[in-house]
Copies of this chain bind each other. A is one copy, B any other.
Amino acid sequence: MKASHAFAVELPDWCRTLADELPDRLPDATDRMRLAIDLSRRNVSAGTGGPFGAVVSSIADGRLIAIGVNRVEPETCSSAHAEIVALSLAQATLSTWNLADAAGAPMELATSCEPCAMCLGAIPWSGVQRVVCGATKRDAEITGFDEGERPGDWIGVLNRRGIDVQTEILQADAAEVLAEYRRTGARIYNP
């Protein structure tokens, strides 16, 4: 058989430029959510993926470990959601598959939108110990995105694994990016 032996997911160039300009730390959790939402907005305006952004950081001091944006269409990879991208880049940066074991742990994942069923399943495997969400599942779904079948008590699922969850942080700002995406008629890649 002929087969690909590797796949890669890369951040777009503007993310690299942005990362270079970012401070090493964002000690205020709201600023980290603001960054996640900014990533979601810029990803749309640059045409480099869907309207989703995420940030991995150290909870104790806000040290920024990785940023991620949705790369499903540009990388032709259906699992390249912002959360998976940010978590994988954080793990690559820190050379561990388990962020709970990394220097600077415990770690936080801030995501511009509540995780879909896949990303929810990925969170416990990643080793993050806090998840902070902007827009809600409903905000995503009225935009036309499919969040999949999450357990009804998805927050409890994470809490029972020692993962703290905060929802609707800067929700209106995050939802506005999704609403704007819909207004401009951008294609919903996974309706």
- A residues at B contact (CB < 8 Å): 1-11, 15-16, 19-20, 22-24, 64-67, 72-73, 75-80, 84-85, 87-89, 91-93, 95-98, 116-122, 124-127, 146, 148-149, 151, 157, 189-190
> Taking the full assembly, how many copies of this chain does it contain?
2
Chain B residue nearest to A6 (CB atoms) is: B10
Residues of B within 8 A of A95 (CB): 76
Question: Top 9 nearest A-B pairs by Cβ distance?
Answer: A118-B121, A117-B121, A8-B8, A6-B10, A78-B125, A1-B64, A118-B122, A1-B22, A7-B88
Complex: chain B residue closest to A89, CB-CB: B4
Which of A6, A98, A119, A157 has the most CB atoms of chain B within a 10 A radius of its CB? A6
Answer whether A19 and B1 are a contact pair too, CB < 8 Å, given A76-B97, A120-B121, A121-B117: yes
Q: A91 vs B190: C-alpha distance in the bound complex, in angstroms?
A: 15
Which single member of B5, B9, B79, B98 contacts A87 (CB below 8 Å)? B79
Distance, CA A149 to CA B163, complexed state (A) = 14
Q: Is the CB of A67 within 8 A of B3?
A: yes
Contacts A8-B8, A151-B151 hold; do A3 and B117 have CB atoms under 8 A apart? Answer: no
In the bound complex, do residue B93 and residue A77 qualify as a contact, i.e. CB atoms below 8 Å apart?
no
Q: In the complex the two chains form, what is the Cα distance from A15 to B12 in whole Å?
A: 30
A91 close to B77 (CB less than 8 A)? yes
Residues of B within 8 A of A77 (CB): 88, 91-92, 97
Q: Closest CB of chain B to A151's CB: distance in Å?
A: 5
A189 contact set on B, CB distance < 8 A = 97
Whole-angstrom distance from the CB of A64 to the nearest CB of chain B? Answer: 4
- A127 CB to nearest chain B CB (Å): 7
Q: Measured between C-beta atoms, what is the minimum distance from A102 to chain B in Å?
A: 10
B127 touches A78 (CB 8 A): yes
